[in-house]
Amino acid sequence: MSMLGDSWCTVEEAELKFGVSKDLVLQWVREGIVRSEEQDGQLVRVNIDDLELKIGEIL
């Protein structure tokens, strides 16, 4: 898994690391719960800290 620093990963890496679906991660991005980075209009990375906080809420 090639994490960019400690704070960002691809959606696919998030699926593997946290065991949540791509659709759910993308929903959280749309809702503004998880920050993301785009390149050329495409989502390329999501924030790991935001994911950990959200997943901690639902467990």
| pLDDT value of position 5 | 58
pLDDT (average), residues 34-49: 97
Contacts for 47-54: CB closer than 8 Å, 24+ residues apart: 47/7, 47/8, 48/3, 48/6, 48/7, 48/8, 48/9, 48/14, 48/17, 49/7, 51/14, 51/18, 51/20, 51/25, 52/18, 54/28
Hunting for tokens 């991005």 — which residue is that?
A: 29
Instruction: Report the share of the chain in percent with pLDDT over 70.
Output: 92
Distance between CA atoms of residues 6 and 23, nearest Å: 23
Average pLDDT across the chain, whole number: 92
Rounded to two decimals, what is the model's pTM? 0.85
Task: Give tens-digit pLDDT for 10-37.
Answer: 999 999 999 999 999 999 999 999 999 9
Q: What pLDDT, on a 0 to 100 scale, did the predictor assign at position 14?
A: 96
Domain ranges of the chain: 8-58
